[in-house]
Chain A
Amino acid sequence: MSAGTEQATKPIGELIIEHVANSDVIVQLSIGGFDLSITKHVIMLWIAAGLLVTVAMISTRRYRRGDITAPRGFVNFLETIVAWVRSAIVIPNVGAGHATTYAPLLLTFFFLIVTMNFLGLIPIFSYINHGHGGTTATGNINLTAALAIITFFAIIVAGVKEHGFFGHWKNIVPGGIPWPVMFILVPIEIMGMFVRPFALTMRLAANMTAGHVAMLAIFAPIFMLHNVYVGVGSVVMNVGITFLEMIVCVVQAYVFTLLSAVFIGMSIHPHH
């Protein structure tokens, strides 16, 4: 990191933000006026996706062969997570009848987010472009917003598939209430439709960024005080925070997946 030389010219808060933010454009790309430039977070997203696809495809060879016996080792571990997502997230929310339809989507959410989260914990990506710090792709609201928009459409598709196009929109407002209440309720429900994915976006991005901000803030006194004992203290504290972050990585992936499942489930089984 080049923080030491910049320290004199920039306030520490700004440096921390720079370290958790996305890099500048690495490959300039624009199609039809849309900026599709490749940045550090795009590369991290691709690394995570490539890693996930590779590991998952190698691990699931036995299933494609039609082997139904219980696996051992890593595949068993992976299968335990898949079975847990299916039985603890998918089935209780969307129902056993729709589990096969929505489980792949929710499993992909969970595994892709958890892979990106953990990738953000590995501080080697500071070497991709411009010497910026070890950021997390899921700490970027653009990425989490894109994921939340997928959830947003999944909610609508699930409702329309189950109740028909008009049935779904009617379900947004609970029945059996006096009509004047509709004037309050309809805007609230329409707002809720957008607030849910927005909350998903902010929750994941903020949580994944917060850990890095905390770690950088704990490292900052080393550069401010130039004292080796402060360094020892900072490192010890950050080792602890890293372990905490590992929990956060799993929990936030779980929360995003769970809430997506809950919203899809609410769309399939509306309130009465």
Chain B
Amino acid sequence: MENLMRFDTGLMFWTWVTFLVVLVILGTKAWKPMMNALEKREAFIKDSLAQANEARLEAERVAKAYDEMVAKARREAQEIVAAGKTTAEKLKADILDEAKAKADALLVQAGRQIDSERDKAIAEIRNQIVDLSLFAAAKVIGKAVSKEDNERLINETLQEIGQS
């Protein structure tokens, strides 16, 4: 047993020296850079997760905005189409109304013209009848009737004609 418990200053001294040398070398050149890297990596992973989460939220927000925009555009398009339809229908009605009014006016005008032409024609016919009558009467009688008789005869004839 005395072998195992022997006091050995040499081993103690060399243990301290060796330990301190190893501690200084590895402490500064191995453990410190390694733990720095570990901490940096931990931070990097944490940051990445936070960023990913942020990006996900952002993407969700954008998708929502996009959906809203599409819905809005659709609504607007529908409104535009509806408005176009209304305008077109109104235009159509206006054109029809105008055309009808023009046609009516033309009809009225044409009627009036026909009336006036007819009146003119009738007047002319009347004059010619008078002339012809006078001419015929003169031929038949062989002489000219007086102006008064003439007039009376014509008017009587005209009345007869008018009645017939």
**Residues in chain A within 8 A of chain B (CB atoms):** 17-18, 20-22, 25, 29, 34-39, 41-42, 45-46, 49, 52-53, 56-57, 59-60, 63-64, 66-70, 79, 82-83, 86, 99-100, 103-105, 107-108, 111-112, 140-143, 145-147, 149-150, 209
A42: contacting residue among B14, B27, B31, B33, CB under 8 A: B14
Interface residue ranges of B87-139 to A (CB < 8 Å): none
Q: Quick one: which of B15, B16, B18, B29 has the most chain A CB within 10 A?
A: B15
B35 within 8 A of A: yes
Q: Which residue of B lies closest to A105 (CB)?
A: B23
Question: Known interface pairs A52-B22, A112-B19. Does A36 touch B34 (Cβ–Cβ under 8 Å)?
Answer: no
CA distance A99 to B23 in the complex (A): 15
B4: contacting residue among A29, A66, A108, A209, CB under 8 A: A209
How far does the Cβ of A210 sit from chain B's closest Cβ, in whole Å? 11
How far does the Cβ of A133 sit from chain B's closest Cβ, in whole Å? 12
A82, B38: Cβ atoms under 8 Å?
yes
Chain B, interface SS category: helix
Chain A, interface SS category: helix
B4, A20: Cβ atoms under 8 Å?
yes
Write out, one digit per residue, whether chain B residues 24-40 have a CB within 8 A of any chain A CB (1) or not (0): 01111111111111101
CA distance A67 to B28 in the complex (A): 16
Question: Known interface pairs A60-B30, A64-B33. Does A37 touch B10 (Cβ–Cβ under 8 Å)?
Answer: yes
A contact residues around B28 at 8 Å (CB) = 104
CA distance A145 to B15 in the complex (A): 9
CA distance A111 to B33 in the complex (A): 16
B66 within 8 A of A: no
B31, A142: Cβ atoms under 8 Å?
no
B11, A82: Cβ atoms under 8 Å?
no
Q: What are 28 A-B pairs at a CB distance below 8 A?
A: A17-B4, A21-B6, A22-B3, A22-B11, A45-B15, A46-B18, A49-B19, A57-B30, A60-B30, A63-B33, A63-B36, A66-B37, A68-B40, A68-B44, A69-B41, A82-B35, A99-B35, A100-B35, A104-B28, A107-B26, A107-B31, A108-B31, A142-B6, A142-B11, A143-B11, A146-B16, A149-B16, A209-B4
B161 within 8 A of A: no
A86, B5: Cβ atoms under 8 Å?
no
CA distance A52 to B16 in the complex (A): 16
CA distance A70 to B28 in the complex (A): 21
